[in-house]
Amino acid sequence: MKLHDARKDLLAGAIFTGFGLAFAITSASYDIGTPLRMGPGFFPLVLGGLLVVLGIAIAVTGFIAGEGSDPGPVPWRALVLLVAALLFFGYFVRALGLVPTLLVTVTMAGLAGRSVRVVPAVVIAVSITALSVLIFVVALQLRLPLLGPWLGG
């Protein structure tokens, strides 16, 4: 019964407990109401409490059983690059327009691959951007400006 072995369950339990607490505490500030007229806080408060209980139960059973394997490696570089790529797209697409934003986003995403260098990543990005414009703007007629106001589009 080593702490190390139960790490997966302890972590999972902590995540659920954390979310449960956050939802329960926030919903306590809304009108709870009565069962007859459930206020906006009623449903999330009950569920938040339930999630806290489940989270603790997962952590405790994991600790008692002591089973579970190591979660394994986390691809940190890929993780950071992918999240940054998504955030970049969301933040800049309106101002820069579809084409430049997509080029940057896909290049960043491409670099998340193992041992992918900059030049191949850019080649991939250019091709995928072209393909996306063909599919979404030309074929499917989505109204997304190719260049945004920052670039005079």
Partner 1 sequence: MGVLESLALGFATAFTPVNLLFCLIGVALGTAVGVLPGIGPTATMALLLPITFGFDPVTALIMLAGIYYGAQYGGSTTAILINLPGESSAAVTAIDGYSMAKQGRAGKALATAALGSFFAGTVATLFVALLAAPIADIALEFGPAEFAALIVLGLIASITLASGSTLKALAMIVLGLLLGTVGQDIATGTPRFTFGARELFGGLEFVSLAVGLFGIAEILRNLEGDMTRSVMVKKVEGLWLSRDDFRRIRMPVLRGTALGSALGVLPGAGHVLASFLSYSVEKRSSKRPEEFGRGAIEGVAGPESANNAAAQTSFIPLLTFGLPANSVMAILLGALYIQGIVPGPLVIENEPELFWGLIVSFWIGNLFLVLLNLPLIGLWVKMLTIPYRWLFPAIIAFACIGTYAISLNAYDVYAIAFFGLLGYALVKLGCEPAPLLLGFVLGPLLEEYLRRALTISQGDATVFLTRPISLSLLVLAALALVVAVLPTVRRKREVVFEEES
Q: 132 CB contacts (<8 Å, ≥6 apart)?
A: 98, 102
Whole-number minimum distance, CB 118 to partner 1, in Å? 13
Q: Which is nearer to partner 1, 50 or 151 (CB)?
A: 50
Binding to partner 1, residues 72-101 (CB under 8 A): 72-75, 78-79, 82-83, 85-87, 89-91, 93-94, 98
Phi (first) and psi of residue 33, to 5 degrees: 75, -165
How many angstroms separate the Cα of 120 from the Cα of each of 82, 114, 126? 17, 12, 10
Q: Is 64 in the site for partner 1 (CB under 8 A)?
A: no
- Is 150 a binding residue for partner 1 by CB under 8 A? The answer is no
Q: Which of residues 19-38 bind partner 1 (CB under 8 A)?
A: 19-20, 23, 26-27, 30-31, 34-38
Using DSSP's 3-state secondary structure scheme, residue 108 falls into: helix
x/- mask, partner 1, residues 104-133, rule CB under 8 A, reads -xx--xx-xxx-x---xx--xx--xx-xx-
**Sign, CA torsion 28/33/35/38:** negative
